[in-house]
Structure 1
Amino acid sequence: MKRKTKAHLGFELLAIFLVGFSSVLLCVEAESQDADVMLALKKSLNVPQSLGWSDPDPCNWNHVGCSRDRRITRIQVGHQGLTGTLPPNLQNLTALEVLELQYNNISGPLPSLSGLSSLREILLDDNLFESIPSDFFTGMSLLQNVDIDNNPFSDWEIPESLKDATELQSFSANSANIKGKIPDFFNQDVFSSLTSLHLAGNNLEGGLPASFGGMQIQSLWLNGQKSKLFGSIDVIQKMTSLQEVWLNLNNFSGPLPDFSGLKDLQNLSLRDNMLTGPVPASLLSLPSLKVVNLTNNMLQGPMPVFKAGVTVDMSKGSNRFCLPSPGDCDPRVNTLLSIVELMGYPQSFADSWNGNDPCQDWIGITCIDGNITVVNFQRMGLTGTISPAFASLPSLQRIILADNNLTGTIPEKLTSLPLLTELNVANNQLYGKVPTFRSNINLVTTGNKDIGKDKSSSPPSGAPSSGSSPTDTGGSSGTGGKKSTAHVGLIVLAVIGSVLAVCLIGFIAFCWFRMRQKRLSQVQSPNALVVHPRHSGSDNESMKITVAGSSVSVGAVSEAQTLPSSEAGDIQMVEAGNMVISIQVLRTVTDNFSEKNILGQGGFGTVYKEGKASIETRIAGTFGYLAPEYAVTGRVTTKVDVYSFGVILMELITGRKALDETQPEDSMHLVTWFRRMYINKDTFKKAIDPTIELNEETLASIHTVAELAGHCCAREPYQRPDMGHAVNVLSSLVELWKPSDQNSEDILYGIDLDMSLPQALKKWQAFEGRSQMESSSSSLLPSLDNTQTSIPTRPYGFADSFTSADGR
């Protein structure tokens, strides 16, 4: 080994000296720079003398800490009543580890702290800071705790720079004016040490990110968002370290998740959301649970019972539990909840399904004698799958699930329903083999492009959601033309079916009218005539008359039939649709177009109210009440007809007009008054027309019709049934609607009122030479095939063009 020469030793000593000297210079420079920053901080803040910041060496200041090499490592001046602002050069404190400025009145913008790689704790909460830069957290690789609560920042989003803080354990930014969605970088890969995430009282929107699943968060505060978080909370069942969850005051919806994996959960606040479905048993049995708040949701099923020692906030009436106290729900309720479970417990059902009796005005549910006969969930924006639990309702006759976004297959169990006559699942996203149903069941599966295939070719539609609006879906790209044609066909069929159903209901109404004795003729109907003058000053004045929404002319050869006018007894006939009404009848019902019967005048003509009229004219007027709705709305819709028909049923039950200005203001409108009276059995009985002889059987029928009327007059169109459903409900009652006696007036009207409606209709068909009913009639009145035949006369007051086919 070579011996080092004196020259070599000299060079090495010189190098060591230079390195050491430069280090000393750097330390002196850094120390001097830190001192400059601290002096700037002192200058920008209103520092009280009690802090002792008068010494020229910042390392001697109270609440300030330095390292051995005299670098500033800690500034801890919380709760000191400080005012002022922070200097922009604060990021030059490169050795800073702790910055505590909480509970002061410091204002202005926060300066960037980018590059402070030694910083472990930032406490800036409860100040008056006005903004925070997007690069504020850049390079803070050792950052563990952040608290910036309660600062009036301008709108800001949680920046990407926060991802640099991979050692983060606690991040609290309550009431800090954060906007946007919760970033998906809050996940286990980036923040494996994060145990506390508090973002309450901000402007966050959207849902809980799926990235939360698997995180070790113990305390999660997302309550009180001004923009409201929404969607499912299912992801929290994967956050098994949770001890405290506050999601209250948002718009979260859908069912509660499975809590069985959250063994350490102590505090759960979910109040003031839109959560649905039953409270799961997994929550009730949690051993660590101490506080739970479920008030103001739409939770269903039985009222939950928590174990002793749990503080529960669950105000009565603020949810949709079947009973006001703990207890088992009606089996029908349990079955319906099982059905909608696979649909995500939609909010529309939770909002309507109140109480423990599904036959009491539950949306989509129709009952006869307490048995559920129809489930109609058409066009309700449903997702999820069809539940085999339908098979637990043996009284079901019709299941209508058309025009939704349902996926999966048709359950085989549905074939076991003994009374099922119709299953309509059209226009969904179903696939798979169609089970074999009885041949007499009307099965509709059109609009499911993958029906019959093993798998669906459509992408998953996502988890069931109750927040979606009802849409007309089920088609796919490439079949739009067929779908459009199908929809046009459905609309046409709906209109035709509605009109035919109206005719049938009119006939039923006529039969009911005969039950109401002599005073019935005094009941006023809501008919109106619109008369359009064409010429004046002529003996045979020509006029245009609108009856039931149809425009016809009297005196115009092309539009009316005019008999010879040389004799006083001549009769002019006005043809309106399928009805022929004599001018003499119109003169009679308006008291010869008396001015006292004028309801109003306008550019469309003169509107007359009905004067005196015979029963047959009133029955004809029943059709006049429905048809104008098409013209009023300017578009084809069956739901307006249904509402009008509901009003007619209410008029028949009560003997009151749709609008009676002689009544007090709160009772003037029939529908509003009827709803209020129907709530209580005693008040409803008083509301029934006193001319109806009430017995137990009649009252039961009236209750059934009243329930149908309430459904028909539902506030939202999608909540109303179609006319086919109305016919289905009433057809079960017509066998009971027979007069107690036959008198001479019955012969006048040309109807054998000892017959039921199906029998009368069958005889009418036979009179017209028809041997069979058309296919559509069998689906509406399946019992007609079993009736006997003879020939009745056409009812007086019905036009020659009105045939039995119109009674479908």
Structure 2
Amino acid sequence: MRSLLFLVYWLCFVSVVKARLNRCSNRDKSALLSVIGDFSYPPVFAESFKGNDPCQDWYGVECLKGRVRAIAFIGMNLTGSISPRFADLTSLSVIDLSHNLLVAPFPRFIGIVVVGLLLIGGGCIAFYLFVRMRRSNRQSESNEGLPHTQESSELNEIVESDNKAIPMQILRDATDDFRDSNIVGRGGFGEVYKGKLLDGIEVAVKRMSQSFIRGKGIDEFRSEVTVLTRVHHRNLVVLHGYCLEGQERLLVYQYMRQGTLNRHLFDWRKEGLRPLDWSRRLLVALDVARGVEYLHTLARQNQSYIHRDLKPSNVLLGEDMRAKLTGRITTKVDVFSFGVILMNLITGQEAIDETRSEGETHIVIWFRKSFREKDSFANVIDETIEVEEETRKNIEDVAELAIHCCAKEPEQRPDMTNAVTVLGSLIQQWKPAIEIEEDEMGFKTSLGEMVKQWKHDMEASSSGTSLK
């Protein structure tokens, strides 16, 4: 009997000691309370959290030795801003805030991150936001997940062990030794190959060329590995892994089965595809606008998520034909490029076409002239689009937005937030045959009022420095 009582006493003692060791530090607890306050104390927290110790009783909070290491507040309908107090959680590695309605300001990142993000627009644009916080008085952790080569040592300070390193031989097997027939894309960085891993997952393998690596490639590779290994969201393409062996640097992404927007706008006959109807084109436009808007928000917060190369070939389509954006973003320059994409969607024609009249080879000049001449504008609309009266008015509204986006002076162009609002309103008015998620609706302001509003905002901020 005494032995049993002693055992019970000992187990209780161990439980108490363990609980005290894992008790959340007062600093982390205070920071978490401030974070929740910036979310406007939604009732869902009161329903989900039990007790007073975040490390033991709070839903979505993961701790190690009393320090908060990960936060996952997924689909909790959070509103408000992302608290700068996240930066006080010095042991925090990952924040998952997907499927919420959060706005700027964003907490500071460590360093300047230039990332070639692959974004998918549509739905409520909410992203898994990876924030590598300031870790005061902490030594860099060793990186066991990377091959121990001279090249990989350059990444040790920023890439922690995450089991995403993929041996080169596996990628050779997946792509049939990088056979030319598996190339699905080319760019200044190198080639992209379609492949299949041993578990059957289809992937896109981005193999960087040596000339790209010798330039700025290592910095961009470093940034992509740092951020994308921590980012997981339906609106971001999945990074399955990476490879650093010898002089080889490869990124392994989710494979986008429908390819680029180019295929469906310009090459659909050659590819044996069905042309996109207007409702689908409008939704693709909104997808892209929301992706660019998000990155521009980061740019305004001094986070260098930049694009510089927004075009149909950098818009990828998934199995459900929802658009993903690949590349990097700049602000007003990208607004112009987005306007060109809108013109591509309306006309089904490429940006440069030598068959057009002299002086009108670029789509912006030709499109602007045709739009002013109302009688001839109908002739520039893609012949595959079924144009009824309601469709025609809808197309004209998008055309007007495209022309504003392509204004000669950057300060005369709307922000991407304005473009998202306009397109969202048009989708609500249009009511396309395809199913639209409920959170893509809710816009009640007319197009004219929206245009007036962004013009007013532009004039009000004209005394400041414009983003270009």
TM-score w.r.t. the length of structure 1 is 0.20
- Select the structure of larger CA radius of gyration: 1
**1 or 2, which has the higher helix percentage?**
2
Tell me: higher relative CO, structure 1 or 2? Use CA pairs within 8 A at least 6 residues apart: 2
TM-score w.r.t. the length of structure 2 is 0.32
